[in-house]
Structure formats: structure tokens, C-alpha cells
């Protein structure tokens, strides 16, 4: 959620480019700024919903926001193998814990390889 300074900056400097499926607005500066490399390009930003982090940006907008695409990809361009966005689960009960993790009991599946551990003589 934008603070007062971001709202004022957006009002005077930004132009609305579009909104994603969840209603987050995406803006681009009306005039280009110089980058560290000397080139001019338009600054781009998103206004998040309250409590969201940067992982909330859908793939359709991520490339545009990071100046990799000139326009956001249409949602129809999503591939069947792409999963819908989920919030970052790190640090929550829903976080992924691989088999063998202490948080899943610490038991790994036994291996079937021919590996033999080396032990020093003595």
C-alpha cells in the first residue's frame, strides 16, 4: 500500500499503464530519467496491496516492470505449465520442507547406490 509520498509522486510524475488480474496498478514515469549507464528510460513501479511483498507481481508484469519487455504480456500468453501465483511461504507453516528435513521428521529414504564411505585407518 502506498504511503503519502508515493501517492503524491505517482499523481504528478506517473501515468497508469494498466492493472493486473488482482487489481494492482502499474505506473510509468511520464518523462525518462538517466540511468547509471547514461541511457534514458522511464521509471516503472507498482502499488502493492496492503501486506504484500514483491513476490506478488505476476509473471505477465514482471518482465515489463524490470525493463525486459516493452509491454506487459497478455494473460492469454500464459503457458499451461505455469502455476497461479502464491504468496511467499517461507517462514510459515505452509513452507516447503524437503524429505529428510528436520521439520519433516529427519528421515531420509535409504539410498540404493554402490557408494561406500571411506574411513581412515587407525
Residue range 58-113, pLDDT digits in tens: 888 999 999 999 998 887 787 888 777 777 888 888 888 888 888 877 777 777 77
- The average confidence (pLDDT) of the chain is 86
Percent of the chain with pLDDT over 70: 98
Rounded CA gap, 14 and 92, in Å? 36
Cβ-in-10-Å burial (0-12, 13-18, 19+) of 27 comes to buried
For residue 39, what is its C-alpha cell? 541511457
- Count of domains for the chain: 1
Q: Does some domain include residue 83? A: no
**Looking only at Cα atoms, what is the longest distance across the chain?**
77
- Parallel, antiparallel, or unpaired: how do β-strands 25-29 and 14-19 relate? antiparallel
Q: Does some domain include residue 96? A: no
**Which residue segment(s) compose the domain that 30 sits in?**
4-78
Q: Does some domain include residue 29? A: yes
Report the predicted TM-score, pTM, of the whole model to 2 decimal places.
0.69
For residue 30, what is its C-alpha cell? 511520464
Q: Does some domain include residue 102? A: no
* Residue at grid coordinates 504511503: 3
Amino acid at each position: 500500500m502506498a504511503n503519502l509520498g508515493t501517492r503524491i509522486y505517482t499523481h504528478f510524475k506517473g501515468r497508469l499503464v494498466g492493472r493486473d488480474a488482482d487489481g494492482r496498478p502499474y505506473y510509468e514515469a511520464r518523462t525518462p530519467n538517466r540511468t547509471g549507464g547514461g541511457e534514458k528510460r522511464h521509471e516503472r513501479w507498482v502499488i502493492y496491496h496492503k501486506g504484500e511483498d514483491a513476490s506478488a507481481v505476476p509473471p505477465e508484469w514482471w518482465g515489463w516492470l524490470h525493463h525486459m519487455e516493452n509491454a506487459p504480456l497478455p494473460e492469454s500468453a500464459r503457458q499451461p505449465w505455469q502455476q497461479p501465483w502464491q504468496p511467499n511461504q517461507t517462514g510459515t507453516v505452509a513452507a516447503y520442507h524437503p524429505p529428510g528435513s528436520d521439520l519433516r521428521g529427519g528421515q531420509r529414504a535409504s539410498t540404493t547406490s554402490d557408494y561406500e564411505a571411506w574411513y581412515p585407518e587407525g
